[in-house]
């Protein structure tokens, strides 16, 4: 196979080592880029494939002929990985490998895939973690608290209040938050346009408090053109996910809340509180940008478990 383009950046670290199958993996990663998958996914897939082929080289002296990867070797890989990795990690690695071998089938490099009939380990469903409404109120008040203590500037307070309000009020993913431009907001209608996973666009409502927080930030911003980022770092660059995570840890500490909460758990909190206040499940699906209702239904487990706990405490016949 001839690779006609320079390797994708997400593949560059994996390509540094000339492991068997590297050229085909590079072509596969480029095909993912053409399908507009995220750089995060491409990087993880490239790393998973690199690890697999290096493992195959150590096990059976894999030379780059993909016909050497048979069903028995594939099964051995799954068994060995489950001894040292979580089921979710193994599941994600297998998704990358299956996708790659499907690519080889499409490219007529292979006639069959050894992974077709092998099952991935089942991932146990976990009830998503979230903050209670009282805890959220404490977190949202933390920027004001830190400004009054002289630990952050007025601009930082306004910016961070707006970020927290959008994460919680809109149920946004952290990458969606960082991608917001001023032109994405329709303040008159109370709506925001979001670029979600797979470059899918959705338009959802945002609460008055969050909209007001964004407007306050815009008043303090030098550039508010439609394509200018809403959230910026102190250096004036577009905000990025890791910076949001670190800022959240600061406010969790100030609010005396668990430090392991992530921006994504604010999204869980949004969905859980909407469901608590009798929002329709389909509406929550649209708000969060879930492609399938089954992804949204996990939040019903949260409310049902809380209902059962309340019933056990309150009902005389429980």
Token digits of residue 279: 């929002």
| Residue 99 near residue 107, CB atoms below 8 Å | no
Residue 123 DSSP code: P
313 catalytic residue (yes or no): no
For this structure, is 106 an active site residue? Answer: no
DSSP three-state, residue 238: strand
Give just the sign of the alpha carbon dihedral 52, 55, 57, 60. negative
Question: Is 251 known to be catalytic?
Answer: no
Of 98, 138, 250, 264, the active-site residue reads 264
3 state DSSP class of 128 = coil
Alpha-carbon distance 312 to 310, whole Å? 5
Residue 126 annotated in active site: no
Whether 302 contacts 272, CB under 8 Å: yes
- How far is residue 252's CA from residue 167's CA, in Å, rounded to a whole number? 14
Burial class (CB in 10 A: 0-12, 13-18, 19+), 191: middle
Which residue in 57, 91, 138, 290 is the catalytic one? 290
CA separation (Å) from 295 to 2, 39, 155, 291, 302? 39, 22, 37, 8, 13
* Catalytic annotation, pick one of 45, 168, 251, 299: 299
Q: Find the catalytic residue in 71, 87, 197, 249.
A: 197
Of the listed 184, 232, 267, 268, which one is catalytic? 267
Active-site residue, selected from the candidate residues 173, 184, 268, 273: 173
290 annotated active-site = yes
What number of CA atoms fall less than 13 Å from residue 18's CA on the CB side? 1
CB 263 within 8 A of CB 167: yes
Told to judge if 315 belongs to the known catalytic residues of this protein, a careful annotator would answer: no
Q: Which residues contact 57 (CB under 8 A, 6 or more apart)?
A: 19, 20, 63
Helices and strands (H, E) in the chain, number of each type: 14, 3
CA–CA separation, 22 vs 16, rounded Å? Answer: 9
Residues noted as catalytic: 173, 197, 264, 267, 290, 299
């Amino acid at each position: 196979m001839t690779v006609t383009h320079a390797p994708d950046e997400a593949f560059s670290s994996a390509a540094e080592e000339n492991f068997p199958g590297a050229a085909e993996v590079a072509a596969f990663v480029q095909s993912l880029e053409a399908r507009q998958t995220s750089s995060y996914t491409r990087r993880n897939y490239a790393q998973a494939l690199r690890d697999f082929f290096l493992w195959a080289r150590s096990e059976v002296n894999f030379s780059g002929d993909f016909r050497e990867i048979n069903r028995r070797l594939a099964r051995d890989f799954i068994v060995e990985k489950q001894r040292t990795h979580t089921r979710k990690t193994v599941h994600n690695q297998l998704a990358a490998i299956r996708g790659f071998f499907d690519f080889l089938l499409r490219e007529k490099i292979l006639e069959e895939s050894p992974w077709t009939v092998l099952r991935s380990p089942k991932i146990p469903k976990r009830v998503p973690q979230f903050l209670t409404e009282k805890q959220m109120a404490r977190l949202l008040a933390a920027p004001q608290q830190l400004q009054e203590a002289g630990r952050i500037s007025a601009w930082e307070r306004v910016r961070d209040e707006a970020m927290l309000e959008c994460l919680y009020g809109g149920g946004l993913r952290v990458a969606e938050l960082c991608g917001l431009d001023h032109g994405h907001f329709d303040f008159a209608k109370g709506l925001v346009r979001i670029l979600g996973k797979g470059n899918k666009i959705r338009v959802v409502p945002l609460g008055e408090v969050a909209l007001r927080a964004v407007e306050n930030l815009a008043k303090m911003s030098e550039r508010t053109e439609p394509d200018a980022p809403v959230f910026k770092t102190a250096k004036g660059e577009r905000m990025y996910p890791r910076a949001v995570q670190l800022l959240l840890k600061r406010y969790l500490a100030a609010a005396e809340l668990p430090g392991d909460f992530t921006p994504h758990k604010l999204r869980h909190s949004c969905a859980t509180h909407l469901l608590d206040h009798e929002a329709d499940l389909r509406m929550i699906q649209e708000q969060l940008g879930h492609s399938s209702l089954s992804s949204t239904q996990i939040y019903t487990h949260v409310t049902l478990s809380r209902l059962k706990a309340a019933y056990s405490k309150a009902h005389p016949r429980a």
